[in-house]
Structure 1
Amino acid sequence: MTEALELGRGFPAWLLRMFIAGVAGTILGVLVSGGIGGAALVLLALAAVISVAMPASPAPALVVILAAMSVVALGGDPFSARVLVLIPLVHLLHAGCGIAGLLPARARVHPAALLAAGVRFVAIQAGVFGLVGLMALVPTGRTPAALELVAIVGVAAITPIVLWLLSHRPPVRASGPARVGRRSARVAGDTGPPANYAE
Structure 2
Amino acid sequence: MERRPGGRSARVGDAVRQATLAELAEHGYQGLTVDNVAERSGVHKTTVYRRWGSTAGLIREALQQAEAEAWPVPDTGDVRGDLRALTRLVQEGFADPELGPVSTAFVAAAVQDQEAARALHAFYVSRHAQSAGLVRRAVARGELPEDVDPEEVIRFAVAPIFYRLFVTYEPVTAADAERAADAALAAARSGALGGTS
Question: Per the shorter chain, which TM-score range?
Answer: under 0.3
Greater relative contact order, per chain length (Cα 8 Å cut-off, separation 6+): 1
Larger radius of gyration: 1
| Higher helix residue share | 2
Task: Output the TM-score relative to the length of structure 2.
Answer: 0.25
